[in-house]
Chains A and B, each alone.
Chain A
């Protein structure tokens, strides 16, 4: 067991390491680029010196005498032959050089102004306006850069420029890091405060390194390849480069080599140290392995999606989870998820042994990991985990007693957390109860596809198993599906009946009658067993009566159906109207919300599950299919449509003639050309609408299931139907009729400047009769355009969402109704300006009339 020391952090200060500090925290001085001696033992004073920590099992750290994984690692240091600029502080160094005097080291600002400036900073500090502090400093630096003369010693100031990445020029004469360090050293502490640095922990000259800290070996472990060869970490490679160059520089200086050679080596040292910190500096060649692959140095370890933060700290991987393809099962409940047996035998639930469940749990252990329902592990009270095998199963059964934990297989009713990416809202991750089913995919009720935005064209979903009682309780109380029926975005039910379930209920409540035995059979098949409900039935039972059997007691409801008829439920009996999408559909179901708000989520989800199943069994009973003959039109209607199209074409021709004859009058605010286009589009739109109306009134509704689906809101609408039966209509791109890709025409078989409907993408036929080649081409154009649009929009909106959620992630509604961020700064004085929890409102508003009438009763 690991022991923890509890400590409270009082404050954190950020600063730079001084050379003295670097030496103080170091345990060794690195003097040789060699790593190991001939026996393969780390060399003292080398980069793998075991005083800096151990990475081999069995060895002990020479500093703290702890073993691998216990020793945290210790820093070493390296004396640099000549100072080198730390690349990440280049901007700051440049600022300091520009605003300080080259002679006396003071900031080129007279004492009086320094005092004023410090006062400003102090005020900002006191009022905790960190952003303002930065701004004040930035403004001062920008002003001082332009100074020509020192206000203290009157020395002339030269222009300092940077030749990227790290060569500093003063009036085209190069400043060496040694000179830079000298200048930074001269700046007095009292001036440094002015740019927001604290000289006690960060003197500016420390940004130019003359001692390099060498990170512990534990953060750059070498790996032993299969061949027994050692492969060193990228950081070690880079460090050995630095050691080698540093040594050569020392030798050359001591030997009194010419200045050019020394400078070259110095630049090389600067290059190696720069790439040690950041291997992606602009204008600098990237340091590479012998294989040509770029080295991953310090900055690359931290930065970006694959860096420490986003990859390792924000993105953790977990155990007790599963992922597989999903498929539908309308027979399971909304809040259930079907799990394949193979998954159920791999994932486990820890069950604490007590004297009351010991016999029950022994049965699991007896079955072991190979039989279902069995168990995989037994955990002893001392924390030892034992895998159940045939050899030790008897021993385990013998010693099992209270306090042991058995990791048993999943069973029906266990709680799990189910999720589909992208997790864009809270309904993307909900708790489901487990149901073990045959097969190899996760099964979910098609009605919960909407909140997950799932379909079954190969989607995969993740399952997690909470491992403690607390986690399971939270999941069941807060995350279970029925708690998320009402969406917090608009107060509508995001879960409801869909497709076939709506068709079924629509047909049932419309005008179906069953004999009593059949009606009872239907209800029993969906799990309604109450005899009292059946006793009310007469010889023939109407669909509304069957539906009413699902309603909870004492419900009164007045609503509308999709075509505007009223739906009346009185005392739990459907008196009038047909139930369709408006009553039980998703984002729509007024009846569902009314039951939900009156009886709560348990009754609500129960009702919805039953309705869904009833719809489906009704369809099974009645039979339901759709075919091409659904879009057959009587000859009279066909004739009417044909005339409609012909007269429209004639009208367009007349308009064109009028235009060519100069008789067309411009609409206000438009040119004549625009007017012609508007008038033509208007005519064509009318054709569409009129044909739609003809189809609507003329189509044979007898035994026409396509119409049933459209009328009930299950799938499709009358427009889709008339597109199949009669006329697809105008194809438009970007809100306009199709524009020509050829010069002055859409396709090469049309005349230039032809603006007749057929040449601009008007399809006067339906899908059933088939299109002309040109019409087909136009419809393919708009089809491809729509496809491209969605494909391009998805990643864009995804990135937009990422930025938005990062910016808003720690906003919350406080108990006083204000919206505040992590600093408790107020963002909104009242949530949404009205303080309403949308999920508990009536479509975003509070309907006081309704509440009063509910309180007053009938």
Chain B
């Protein structure tokens, strides 16, 4: 059998990374928000499976944008 397909290496899947506690707090501080005001990502999302995310973790996504070359985006991990 062929080796398992790794979707995170696919060109259309942007780079996901988990923020440390410190980074997370600085993001929340920068935007002056609470965790529940962030966009969400499911814990079971295949793109972050390899990061072993916990509920409440913040995931940083760096993706291509038609108006800005690279755009940072943050999502909080939720149940599901």
Chain A residues in the interface with B (C-beta under 8 A): 127-129, 132, 816, 818, 820, 823-827, 829-830, 832-834, 836, 844
Give the complex CA separation of A358 and B64 in angstroms: 66
Give the complex CA separation of A129 and B80 in angstroms: 13
* From B32, B65, B67, B78, contact of A132 by CB (8 A): B78
Asked whether, in the complex, the Cβ of A836 is within 8 Å of the Cβ of B67, the reply is yes
Which residues of chain B are within 8 angstroms of A834 by Cβ–Cβ distance?
Answer: 65, 67-68
* From A825, A830, A832, contact of B37 by CB (8 A): A825
Give the complex CA separation of A721 and B31 in angstroms: 58
Asked whether, in the complex, the Cβ of B78 is within 8 Å of the Cβ of A833, the reply is no
Which residues of chain A are within 8 angstroms of B78 by Cβ–Cβ distance?
Answer: 129, 132
Does B33 interact with chain A (Cβ within 8 Å)? yes
Which residues of chain B are within 8 angstroms of A826 by Cβ–Cβ distance?
Answer: 31, 33, 37-39, 74
CB distance from B39 to the nearest CB of A (A): 6
Give the complex CA separation of A539 and B45 in angstroms: 79
Which residues of chain A are within 8 angstroms of B32 by Cβ–Cβ distance?
Answer: 816
Which residues of chain B are within 8 angstroms of A127 by Cβ–Cβ distance?
Answer: 35-36
* From B36, B38, B65, B74, contact of A833 by CB (8 A): B65
CB distance from A671 to the nearest CB of B (A): 32
Give the complex CA separation of A826 and B58 in angstroms: 14
Asked whether, in the complex, the Cβ of B67 is within 8 Å of the Cβ of A833, the reply is yes
Which residues of chain B are within 8 angstroms of A132 by Cβ–Cβ distance?
Answer: 78-79
Interface of A is mostly: loop
Number of B positions contacting A (CB below 8 A) = 18
> What would 19 A/B residue contacts be, using CB atoms closer than 8 Å?
A127-B35, A128-B36, A132-B78, A820-B37, A823-B37, A825-B37, A826-B31, A826-B33, A826-B38, A826-B39, A827-B39, A829-B31, A829-B72, A829-B74, A830-B68, A832-B67, A833-B65, A833-B66, A833-B67
Please provide the 8 A-B residue pairs with the shortest distance between their CB atoms, ordered closest to farther. A833-B65, A833-B68, A834-B67, A834-B68, A833-B71, A825-B37, A833-B67, A128-B36
CB distance from B14 to the nearest CB of A (A): 13
Give the complex CA separation of A128 and B35 in angstroms: 10
Residue of B nearest to A827 (CB): B39
Given contacts A833-B66, A844-B67, 7 further A-B contacts (CB under 8 A): A132-B79, A818-B31, A826-B37, A829-B71, A829-B74, A834-B65, A836-B67
Give the complex CA separation of A832 and B71 in angstroms: 10
Asked whether, in the complex, the Cβ of B36 is within 8 Å of the Cβ of A129, the reply is yes
Which residues of chain B are within 8 angstroms of A816 by Cβ–Cβ distance?
Answer: 31-32
Residue of B nearest to A824 (CB): B37
Give the complex CA separation of A127 and B77 in angstroms: 13
Q: Mark B52-80, 1 if CB is under 8 A from A, else 0.
A: 00000000000001111001111000110
CB distance from B68 to the nearest CB of A (A): 4
Residue of B nearest to A838 (CB): B67
Residue of A nearest to B37 (CB): A825
Give the complex CA separation of A128 and B71 in angstroms: 28
Give the complex CA separation of A830 and B67 in angstroms: 11
Q: Mark B10-35, 1 if CB is under 8 A from A, else 0.
A: 00000000000000000000011101
Give the complex CA separation of A833 and B61 in angstroms: 13
CB distance from A69 to the nearest CB of B (A): 45
Asked whether, in the complex, the Cβ of B33 is within 8 Å of the Cβ of A824, the reply is yes
